[in-house]
Amino acid sequence: MNVSYTEDNIKSLSPIEHVRSRPGMYIGKLGDGKSADDGIYVLLKEVIDNSIDEYMMGFGKVIDIHVSDELVTVRDFGRGIPLGKLVDVVSKMNTGGKYDSRAFKKSVGLNGVGTKAVNFLSSQFKTSAYRENKEKWVHFEKGELIEESKIIPTKEKNGTFVSFTPDETIFNKYHYLMDHVESMIKNFVYLNAGLTIILNGTRFHSKNGLQDLLNENMNGEPLYPIIHLEGEDIEIAITHGNHYGEEYYSFTNGQHTTQGGIHLLAFREGIVKTIREFYNKNFDPSDVRTSIVAAINLKVEEPIFESQTKTKLGSKEMEPGGRSIRNFIIDFLKKNLDNHLHKNSDLNEILYNKIIASEKERKAISGVKKIARERAKKVSLHNRKLRDCKIHFSTNKDREEESSIFITEGDSASGSITKARDVQTQAVFSLKGKPLNSYGLTKKIVYTNEEFNLLQAALNIEDGLDTLRYNRVIIATDADVDGMHIRLLLITFFLQFFPDLIKNKHLFILETPLFRVRNKTKTFYCYSDEEKQNAINVIGKNAEITRFKGLGEISPKEFSEFIGEHIKLDPVTLKKYDNIGHLLEFYMGKNTPDRQEFIVNNLKIEEEI
């Protein structure tokens, strides 16, 4: 095939055109607002980041925010953008005060892009700056300047006001979920103790910083009182729970680094070094960190992030000519954590007993691990359980949305999904019958039970989520009693032994249609009785209605509609007040009057067609 390549093929895009044509380069994925990292939340965060930077520099203790789908507004009481540069700061790429470290020493937004991206990706964008009883405002539409005022007198307090509406032509049918917004706001106040943020009239404030963050996010009681350590440029909170796995919240300059980075690696190393030296025992790192819940916020000049959305810290130095981040964090822990342990003998005993208990359990299952691994390898090689995909999350972090695994039950269901899936990005793991109820069992069952061992091996999560091979782990079962039971058994398994998978929002339930309503010209797939009735009303008397009683009844051609672009997923989530132990005891323990009453009250009987 001959394709011409001439001067006519070479194009230069303006900054506005580039951002609007390639928004993912600047704000990550677009999305419709269901996920916390969708673009509409990145826009909000980029604006708030500037207000937070003012607070960090000692200006403005209150930020007032209003969020609706129609309009977002942010008002801070910092120094206000210099009036003569207002247009440039919000519309000219690589322009901003944060290149001058005298004005912003440890800022999140150092690249001069954030607010400009908000402007370019908004149908309406307005900002006003107030400085020393003077004001200037500007109005943009899709990044194009519509109107600007002269510098005029004002009685407003110093600061900046920004309002914007995400462009619906880019963010199609978006909707702000206030749970995601509130979570973001809470992180801001935890990381900036003393700051007050008012969101839609509700006040958010933290006195104890990261200690409050752990208290907010822990499921169940801590094993010992939270250790809260603060120093220049660093804050750390640590405790242990009674769960399996490790749970971390890492931040740099207030930015939530959800993929960690060098600061988190240094913390994980430093905690082991410090505890080993304190007890004078060569503990295995996994025994020290099992059940840990910790948060770290590091302040760095000129941080280097591995993507525009700043989810992973890649800086190697604290300062251009200065200290290693790794050494800084380890030294801080060895001094401050060691001091804390020496001063709290009760805590010492609790922590020591926790580590010894983890060590005993690890040794108890070490004998079966090797055999289990070999068995998993043989099964994988023969492709009996896992039909893998070509792209994996653990090796393609920038393509995280494109890596999924479906956990199915039975040959017919797995066969349909296998034929319909995208082999590049979607894997299938087939269960043989119902999984074991793992409630109350020790982690030894993960290796001695063939199904659980093979599932763990397929996900590659034995050593934690860092090696997880798929971003989305999707439970795909029939929408009947048996299917619901399998879902519950799998969720129990993950809650018991790999709760981080759920806490880090990797586990989902696949929604598949319950009904197909069609005639010779139209077909509707319906996920509820209401949708079924609406489809019948559209088609009329000659509607052919099919009730899908199992995934195996859905043809591969039809399945491609439900696991492709229009896939519907329900995330499995945990809230602050969800105590994992209590949840599992209620749903998976012995039958109790309370559970029987719950089942009766929530039983739904499907009407026959």
Do both 47 and 153 map to the same domain? Answer: yes
pLDDT confidence tier of residue 395, bands split at 50, 70 and 90: low
CB 261 within 8 A of CB 321: no
pLDDT, average across residues 435-459: 88
Last residue of a domain, one of 328, 361, 394: 361
pLDDT, average across residues 325-344: 93
Q: For residue 510, which phi and psi values (nearest 5 degrees)?
A: -80, 125
Do both 401 and 346 map to the same domain? Answer: no
pLDDT confidence tier of residue 125, bands split at 50, 70 and 90: very high
d(CA 573, CA 311): 21
The candidate with the shortest Cα–Cα distance to 254, out of 288, 287, 297, is 297
CATH code of residue 242: 3.30.230.10
Whether the per-residue pLDDT at 265 is higher than 70: the answer is yes
> Is 518 within a domain?
no
d(CA 579, CA 558): 39
CATH code of residue 508: 3.40.50.670
Lowest mean pLDDT among 49-58, 93-102, 256-265: 93-102
Do both 196 and 96 map to the same domain? Answer: yes
Do both 357 and 408 map to the same domain? Answer: no
* pLDDT at residue 608 in the model: 39
Percent of the residues in the chain that have a pLDDT greater than 70, as a whole number: 83
Whether the per-residue pLDDT at 356 is higher than 90: the answer is yes
Do both 356 and 409 map to the same domain? Answer: no
> Is 189 within a domain?
yes
d(CA 240, CA 247): 9
The residues facing 547 across adjacent strands are 515
pLDDT confidence tier of residue 607, bands split at 50, 70 and 90: very low
* pLDDT at residue 311 in the model: 60
Do both 299 and 401 map to the same domain? Answer: no
CB 351 within 8 A of CB 298: no
Do both 391 and 448 map to the same domain? Answer: yes
The candidate with the shortest Cα–Cα distance to 85, out of 71, 99, 65, is 99
* pLDDT at residue 564 in the model: 80
Whether the per-residue pLDDT at 487 is higher than 80: the answer is yes
> Is 105 within a domain?
yes
pLDDT, average across residues 487-513: 88
> Is 543 within a domain?
no
Name residues whose C-beta falls within 8 Å of residue 236's C-beta, 6 or more positions apart in sequence: 210, 227, 228, 229, 230, 267, 294, 295, 296, 297, 332, 333, 336
CATH code of residue 97: 3.30.565.10
Q: What is the pLDDT of residues 548-567, one digit of tens each?
A: 877 777 888 888 888 887 78
How many structural domains are present in the chain?
A: 3
Whether the per-residue pLDDT at 230 is higher than 60: the answer is yes
* pLDDT at residue 551 in the model: 79
Last residue of a domain, one of 163, 178, 204: 204
Lowest mean pLDDT among 281-285, 369-373, 577-581: 577-581
* pLDDT at residue 339 in the model: 95
Its pTM stands at 0.74
Largest Cα–Cα distance in the chain? 80
d(CA 553, CA 412): 8
pLDDT confidence tier of residue 367, bands split at 50, 70 and 90: confident
pLDDT, average across residues 295-322: 64
> Is 63 within a domain?
yes
* pLDDT at residue 173 in the model: 85
d(CA 422, CA 432): 23
Whether the per-residue pLDDT at 97 is higher than 50: the answer is no
CB 192 within 8 A of CB 207: no
Q: For residue 440, which phi and psi values (nearest 5 degrees)?
A: 85, -5
Quote the mean pLDDT of the chain. 82
> Is 6 within a domain?
no
pLDDT, average across residues 480-507: 87
* pLDDT at residue 379 in the model: 63
* pLDDT at residue 599 in the model: 56
Most confident of 279-283, 314-318, 426-430: 279-283
pLDDT confidence tier of residue 13, bands split at 50, 70 and 90: low
d(CA 120, CA 90): 9
pLDDT, average across residues 43-51: 91
Do both 395 and 489 map to the same domain? Answer: yes
Q: What is the pLDDT of residues 321-330, one digit of tens each?
A: 456 888 999 9
* pLDDT at residue 511 in the model: 87
Last residue of a domain, one of 295, 329, 361: 361
**Exposed / middle / buried, residue 318 (Cβ in 10 Å: 0-12, 13-18, 19+):** buried
The residues facing 129 across adjacent strands are 136, 160
- Greater pLDDT, 243 or 275: 275
Q: For residue 556, which phi and psi values (nearest 5 degrees)?
A: -55, -35
- Greater pLDDT, 425 or 576: 425
> Is 589 within a domain?
yes
* Residues spanned by the domain of 22: 16-204
pLDDT confidence tier of residue 369, bands split at 50, 70 and 90: confident
Do both 311 and 416 map to the same domain? Answer: no
Do both 39 and 153 map to the same domain? Answer: yes
Q: Which three-class secondary structure state does DSSP give residue 64? A: strand
Torsional sign, CA 575, 576, 578, 579: positive
Whether the per-residue pLDDT at 104 is higher than 50: the answer is no
pLDDT, average across residues 460-476: 88
CA angle, corner 124, sides to 122 and 125, nearest 5?
80
Q: Tokens 């809650």 map to which residue?
A: 495
Lowest mean pLDDT among 306-310, 382-386, 420-424, 427-431: 306-310
**Strands 227-231, 234-240: parallel, antiparallel or unpaired by DSSP?**
antiparallel
pLDDT, average across residues 194-198: 95
> Is 8 within a domain?
no
Lowest mean pLDDT among 127-136, 288-297, 448-457, 541-550: 541-550
pLDDT confidence tier of residue 605, bands split at 50, 70 and 90: very low
Name residues whose C-beta falls within 8 Å of residue 2's C-beta, 6 or more positions apart in sequence: none
Do both 393 and 283 map to the same domain? Answer: no
- Greater pLDDT, 212 or 56: 212
Whether the per-residue pLDDT at 178 is higher than 50: the answer is yes
Do both 232 and 280 map to the same domain? Answer: yes
CB 60 within 8 A of CB 54: yes
